[in-house]
Chains A and B, each alone.
Chain A
Amino acid sequence: MEFFLSQLQGFGGAFSALVTDPITYPYIVISVFLGIVFGALPGLTATLAVTILTGFFGNKIPLDYALIALLGAYVGAIYGGSYPSILLNIPGTAASAATAMDGHPLAKQGRGAEALGLTTTGSFVGTLIGTAALLVFVWALLLISQSIASPEKALLALFGILLSGTLMSEDLVVKGWIAGLAGLAMAMVGLDPLLSEPRYTFGWSYLMSGFQVVPVLMGAFAIPQIIEGLRQVDPGKVIALKGRILPNLAAVRRHMPTIARSGVIGTGVGALPGVGEDVAGWVSYGVGKSASHDGKNFGKGSIEGLLSSETANNACIGGALIPLLVLGIPGSPPAAALMGAFKLNNIIPGPTIDPSIILRVCAIMVLASLTMFIMGLFTARVFIQILRLPQTVFLPVVLILTTIGSFSVGGGINDLYLMLGVGALAYFMNLMRYPIAPLVIGVILGGLFDETFRRSLLLSDGDLSGFFTRPTAAVLLALNVALIAGQMPVVRRAFAKMRKR
């Protein structure tokens, strides 16, 4: 009890500091607005919103304000994806793919305004649930993570890369692992962290400092999106809204169990390293379908179905920040972009992070969700106008944004070459259905893996037993082995036989 009270007290202090600072408001309003716009425009994603804002705000303003801008955009973009899902049947972001299943049929039934109002409420409550989990569990995990040393960190980084590769693969799991390893390989470029030995620099001095995070993020997430989106697409017919968007309290109360369940699921899925909001939305939708008494109507315009996915994807944000802040492992692709912003400010998320940053993150999340809630309920019709904007008009603008964003972070033309190179690679990977998120997570965690793995070996004079004699390391090693073995046909066949018996 004392623990919770002290947590609340710390959070209260951070929240009051945030709301009494007048500079907070322009940042939060503009970033949430931009986030919703990015989410609402099909072809732009939440990851791209956070990535582009990292380029602009990452190291140009104090981290306290940069976090407001980035988290505001993150919360706004995940929510904003619901607009085209409901009104156009086109998910604005991958996170809102499940939302379209019930959101669009509801809009066709003339219940679009009701759907938007409840979606906004679900997203708001979902974000709060995720933030509450972040506030509570992050401290418990931080206490545990104090005992984590190099072997555990190395295994955890590897687990993050492998898990995101496994869960984010649309096609073969092996492709997700290849993407993760490609990211790891990219992180090896430059002077190595222990002996300053140059690796794969090919005599180019720019590569000595390794690949910069922001150009990699911009290249991986923006360039394929621009190439893919620059085509003539029928923008579709936006279904007109009838009635009021503001939901009535009785409806909210009636659906509160679904919202609460989806919030918990979203937070849990978000806490898995590298697994994003889209997976959270689908998992919650699937659980909702079997758990809800309205399950048979899922896909035909069920409010329960809509809330299952839409609450979970916003709750996932808080969950995704738990591994990021506690272990330095991003819980989702936008969290990977957020990690880029931390890196730009020389802050290393993990057990050594300043606790005041965590409290501030929680305070920003609450304020951002409140801003999103107010904007969603009272300015929804403005965002609906944005849906009519063709992507062939805004994607060229995104190209210019990414170019100047990449350039200004490093201040060099080489960063632009890197952005374009990574972009071309990511485009071809997309074409061959390799997931991109594991690549980026590999680039971000590669340095950590290399350093901690080699430090473990250095301290034990090459004795590998440290990876399985330490209890936490042994568990993590078992998880890594299980993850790999679980995809092997021989093991799968054996399990299938066992199940039959």
Chain B
Amino acid sequence: MDIEKLQAELDKDLEMLRARDFWGALALIGCAVFFLWRTSFIPFLGENRAGVSGAEWYNSAAIVPFGIWLAMLLLGLVLLRIAIKAGGAKRAFSSVGLGWNRQEAIRIGSIAVIMGMFIFALVPRVDFILASGLVITALIYGFHAGRLGRMLQAAGAVTLPGIYALSMHFPQAEWNKPHDDDWVVLAAWMLLSVWMLVHDRSRIARSTPWIALLTPLILVTAMAFGFRQNVPNRGGLLFSQIEYHYYVTLRPLWRD
């Protein structure tokens, strides 16, 4: 009985996979056609460029890309055939057939928003320690207990300061300076930490502020002063102070 049940589940998984493969194959075919068209911009059959004779077919920069995208197109068609034969096309238009799960969609959506805001909005504009602290806190708070409400709150806690930083300091010229957006992120981080500590008394919740503070602090200082590497947003609220005191207060102690 158990084996039958397991087999039925496996069959259902395979049906779902083939429905996804149907869409995947269509996307792949679309991609292959688009890039074949883009590859046609690269000189191929002895074309001239700016009056200079271009490549012969056999050393053209387009030959390998043409081969790759033609192979992709072919494999896309093979995958489409497999998906259709396995009934993927029939189930491709139903959410059940695709294996749509609202809870999972919210979970992944929240993670995507947090990661997107972190990389696109916060890291370029806000002090790295503050941005990372906020994101670590949000991810632990939002996903440790597996509750949807918390996931959305965590996404909101990162999105609001992210949108603020994006809208107020969009141009690259404004990225590497201490700004009001650093303070907004700091406030969001504090609020989220307090909220987390009030609503959750577990050991994980109590240790989260320490993890969120110490991880980026150690990493950034090790990178900047240990490995002497570039770190994001050197002019950020905290890092600019750390860097100043490292060179002005601390370093003379062993240099002198």
Please report A residues at the B interface, Cβ cutoff 8 Å: 56, 60-61, 171-172, 174-175, 177-178, 181-182, 184-185, 188, 192, 194-195, 197, 199-200, 223, 226-227, 230-232, 390, 392-393, 395-397, 399-401, 403-404, 407-408, 411, 413, 416-417, 419-420, 423-424, 431-433, 449-450, 453-454, 457-458, 461-462
19 contacts between A and B (CB under 8 A): A171-B17, A172-B79, A178-B76, A181-B68, A188-B65, A192-B61, A197-B55, A223-B115, A226-B115, A230-B111, A232-B143, A392-B144, A396-B139, A400-B215, A403-B123, A420-B116, A454-B64, A457-B58, A457-B59
Determine if A232 and B144 form an interchain contact, defined as CB atoms under 8 angstroms apart: yes
Contacting pair B71 A181 (CB below 8 A): yes
Contact between A178 and B143, CB atoms less than 8 A apart: no
Which chain B residues lie closer than 8 Å to A401 at the CB level? 219
Stretch of B188-196, B223-231, B247-255 at the chain-chain interface: B223-231
Residues of B contacting A182 with CB < 8 Å?
72
Residues of B within 8 Å of A419, CB to CB, are 119
> In angstroms, how far is the closest chain A Cβ from the Cβ of B89?
16
Does A174 lie within 8 Å of B230, measured CB to CB?
Answer: no
User: Complex: how many Å from CA A98 to CA B59?
Assistant: 47
**Neighbouring A residues of B163 by C-beta, 8 Å:** none
Give the complex CA separation of A175 and B21 in angstroms.
Answer: 10
B229's contact among A195, A399, A408, A450, by CB below 8 Å, is which? Answer: A408
In the complex, residue of chain B having the shortest beta-carbon distance to the beta carbon of A185: B68
B204 proximity list for chain A (CB < 8 A): 390, 393
Task: Tell me which of A175, A400, A404 contacts B135 (CB under 8 A).
Answer: A400
Q: Give the residue among A184, A188, A200 with the most B Cβ atoms within 10 A.
A: A188
B57 interfacial contact with A, CB 8 Å:
yes
* CB–CB B64/A399 < 8 A: no
Q: Which of A185, A197, A411, A423 contacts B61 (CB 8 A)?
A: A197
- Given the interface pairs A56-B227, A185-B69, A432-B24, the reply to whether A174 lies near B64 with Cβ below 8 Å is no
Q: Judge whether B87 is part of the interface by a CB distance below 8 angstroms.
A: no
CA distance A232 to B39 in the complex (A): 45
Top 7 A-B residue pairs of the complex, sorted by shortest distance between their CB atoms: A232-B146, A462-B58, A192-B61, A197-B61, A396-B139, A457-B58, A392-B144
Knowing A185-B69, A404-B220, the reply to whether A449 touches B64 (Cβ < 8 A) is: yes
Our pick among B56, B64, B145, B229 for the contact of A462 (Cβ within 8 Å) is B56
Q: CA separation between A188 and B72, bound complex, in Å?
A: 14
CA distance A56 to B227 in the complex (A): 9
Q: Is the CB of B119 within 8 A of A200?
A: no
Q: Report the separation of the CA atoms of residues A201 and B148 in the bound assembly, to the nearest whole angstrom.
A: 40
8 A Cβ contacts from B62-87 to A: 62-65, 68-69, 71-72, 75-76, 78-79, 82
What class of interface size applies to chain B in its complex with A?
35 or more
A174 and B82 within 8 A (CB):
yes
Q: Given A181-B71, A390-B144, A400-B215, are A408 and B61 also a contact pair (CB < 8 Å)? A: no
Residues of B within 8 A of A (CB): 17, 20-21, 24, 28, 35, 38-39, 42-43, 55-65, 68-69, 71-72, 75-76, 78-79, 82, 107-108, 111-112, 115-116, 118-120, 123-124, 128, 132, 135-136, 139-140, 143-146, 204, 208, 211, 215-216, 219-220, 223, 227-232
Min C-beta distance of B4 to chain A, whole Å: 22
**CB atoms of B107 and A450 under 8 A apart:** no
Question: Cβ of B232 and Cβ of A397 under 8 Å apart?
Answer: no
Give the A-B contact count at a CB cut-off of 8 A. Answer: 163
The verdict on A396 contacting B136 (CB below 8 Å), with A181-B71, A408-B230, A413-B124 known, is yes
| Complex Cα spacing A404 to B219, Å | 8
B18 → A minimal CB distance (Å): 10
With a CB–CB cut-off of 8 A, which chain A residues contact B69?
A: 185
The answer to whether A397 and B136 touch across the interface, beta carbons within 8 angstroms, is yes
A416 to B132, CA, bound (A): 14
Q: How far is the CB of B173 from chain A (nearest CB, A)?
A: 14
Which of A172, A450, A462 is close to B57, meaning CB atoms less than 8 Å apart? Answer: A462
User: Which of A223, A231, A420, A454 sits near B107, CB closer than 8 Å?
Assistant: A231
Cβ–Cβ < 8 Å partners of B39 in chain A: 199
A61 — which chain B residues lie within 8 A by C-beta? 227
The answer to whether B68 and A188 touch across the interface, beta carbons within 8 angstroms, is yes
Q: Are A392 and B136 in contact (CB under 8 A)?
A: no
Cβ 8 A contact of A174, one of B59, B60, B78: B78
Known: A227-B111, A399-B139. A417 touches B64 (CB 8 A): no
Contacts of A171 in B (CB 8 A): 17
Residues from chain B with a CB closer than 8 A to the CB of A396 are: 135-136, 139-140, 211
Question: A175 CA to B28 CA in the complex, in Å?
Answer: 11
A407 to B223 Cα, complex, angstroms: 11
* Cα separation A396 to B216 with both chains bound (whole Å): 11
Do A393 and B211 have beta carbons less than 8 Å apart? Answer: yes
Give the chain A neighbours of B60 by CB distance below 8 A: 195
A417 to B132, CA, bound (A): 16
A181-B72, A185-B35 provided; 9 other pairs, C-beta below 8 A?
A188-B65, A197-B55, A223-B115, A230-B139, A390-B144, A396-B211, A408-B223, A417-B120, A453-B63
Assembly CA distance A420 to B119 (angstroms): 8
Q: Are B68 and A184 in contact (CB under 8 A)?
A: yes
Do B58 and A461 touch (CB < 8 A)?
Answer: yes
In the assembled complex, the CB of A258 is this many whole angstroms from the nearest CB of chain B, namely 31
Q: How far is the CB of B67 from chain A (nearest CB, A)?
A: 9
Task: Indicate if the CB atoms of A432 and B230 lie closer than 8 Å.
Answer: no
Complexed CA–CA distance, A199 and B41 (Å): 9
Q: Which residues of A contact B28 (CB under 8 A)?
A: 178
Contact between chains at A199 and B65 (CB < 8 Å): yes
Q: Given A56-B227, A230-B111, A392-B143, answer yes or no on A185-B65 (Cβ-Cβ < 8 Å).
A: yes
A461 to B42, CA, bound (A): 20
**CB of B230, distance to nearest CB on chain A (Å):** 4
The residue on B at minimum CB distance from A404 is B219
With A390-B204, A420-B115 as contacts: A408 and B231 at CB distance below 8 Å? yes
Contacts of B230 in A (CB 8 A): 407-408, 411
Name B145's closest neighbour in chain A (CB-CB): A232
Chain A residue with Cβ nearest B228: A60
> Which residues of the other chain, A, contact B146 by a CB distance below 8 angstroms?
231-232
Question: How far does the alpha carbon of A142 sit from the alpha carbon of B60 in the complex, in Å?
Answer: 31
